[in-house]
Amino acid sequence: MKIINELQLAKELIRFPSVTPIDAGIMKFLEKKLKKLGFKTKILEFKEKKNASVKNLYARLGKKSPNFCYAGHLDVVPAGNLSDWTINPFKPSIKNGHLIGRGANDMKSSIAAFVSAISVFVEKNKGFNGSISLLITGDEEGVAINGTKKVVEYLKKKREKIDFCLVGEPTNPNKLGEMIKIGRRGSMNGLLTITGVQGHVAYPHRANNPSTALVRILKELKDIRFDKGTKDFQPTNLEITKININNTADNVIPGLAYASFNIRFNNVHTSNSIKKKINKILKKVCNKTKSKYKIDYSVSGEAFLTKPNSTTFMIQNIIKKVTKIKPKLSTTGGTSDARFIRKIAPCLEFGLVGKTMHKVDEAVSLTDLKKLSLIYLKVLKNYFK
């Protein structure tokens, strides 16, 4: 069996312009690589009426338990203005010890590192006692409706058991080895519409300005102290992201006012408990101002924490040995597909340094890429000891 080189594979993956939800042939390409390593594979394509069809891949090597799963995404964000790049973002290039290209950091190189690690592990451990699987999506950077969420539902129906999952997102702020994610805050958006009565600014008694209620509501929302944080999570935070009154005249009191906000919440709360708290404020203020409100919530994911176990500490120790840094167990940052996987398996996240993700000239250090592949290899060796 041929050993797969992580750098070569990373370059090959970057060449596919797989901007969400476009597949561009990348799943079939990876599927062929995995079949050569002995994996049984299935490309899972999902579609909902309002959203584009997305291809995903689930592959498994072996039939025995335990099943160690690696999860990641092959879709990337748009390159943006091509003239700002020093290279074509989909023609990877090496400069100053770094591989540059869209997806080099987030997260095609991490997938390449894991596949390379598997090729080395299987070559030397043909009869290992267990299974290795990969759950790869093409819908992580987008709406995340037809991606990992649907794959998890499929695996549940098939009664496919995953014993532990490692998600390869770029988790390190500055140096490889700094941080493992063992959970994430929940994320919820609110779109608020306040309805008043339109009228002439000179006759305010004949109108009801919705901005009065909106300003009071937003002040009260910002004043909420949800919690002080916990041992594992920072405090819950609400940020107002949009305020909008579509009024084209200065002598008209508007009839409608809008605002959007996002809440990142820890596991002290659920999205439902936060909704109840917010709805009380909306009702109170709108009753006082004699205005009406409508609130639309969208929940990206609930807060979750994977309680550290022996596998967590094993991975932490391996990272420390390879990088000479003891990684912090953290729940900071945004959301990831771990929010879906944690429903069927304990999981943690560890990948590359995330400084250049989504940026122009996105890049990964060649040294880090080699070290990450070594870490993933040692994790497999220790997990299946």
CA–CA separation, 361 vs 348, rounded Å?
Answer: 28
Helix (H, G, I), strand (E, B) or coil at 264: strand
Distance of alpha carbon 230 from the chain centroid: 22
Residue with tokens 């072996």, as numbered in its chain? 62
pLDDT at 143: 84
- Which of these is catalytic: 31, 140, 160, 368? 140
CB count in 10 Å sphere of residue 61: 20
CA–CA separation, 321 vs 352, rounded Å?
Answer: 16
CATH value of 186-301 in 3.30.70.360, 2.40.50.140, 3.30.1330.40, 3.30.420.40: 3.30.70.360
Residues 6 or more apart in contact with residue 84 via CB below 8 angstroms: 360
What values do phi and psi take at 214, rounded to 5? -60, -45
pLDDT at 334: 85
Report DSSP state, residue 155.
Answer: H
Distance of alpha carbon 48 from the chain centroid: 20
What values do phi and psi take at 170, rounded to 5? -70, 105
Active site residue 23: no
Greatest distance between any 2 Cα atoms in the chain: 84
Mark the ranges of the chain whose per-residue pLDDT is less than 50.
Answer: none
Q: Structure tokens of 312?
A: 């967590």
DSSP 279-300: HHHHHHHHHHHT-EEEEEEEEE
pLDDT at 231: 94
Q: Structure tokens of 147?
A: 């991606």
pLDDT digits (tens, 9 = 90+) for 312-355: 999 999 999 999 999 999 999 888 999 999 999 999 999 999 99
Cβ neighbourhood burial of 328 (10 Å; 0-12, 13-18, 19+): middle
Structural domain spans, the chain: 6-184+303-383, 186-301
pLDDT at 213: 98
What values do phi and psi take at 84, rounded to 5? -80, -20
CA–CA separation, 172 vs 79, rounded Å?
Answer: 22
pLDDT at 1: 64
pLDDT at 51: 84
Instruction: Report the Cα–Cα distance between both ends of the chain, in Å, rounded.
Output: 22
Helix (H, G, I), strand (E, B) or coil at 194: strand
CB count in 10 Å sphere of residue 228: 9
Q: What is the CATH number of domain 6-184+303-383?
A: 3.40.630.10
Active site residue 140: yes
- Which of these is catalytic: 75, 169, 302, 368? 75
**pTM to 2 decimal places:** 0.90
Q: Structure tokens of 356?
A: 């250049």
Give the amino acid at 14.
I
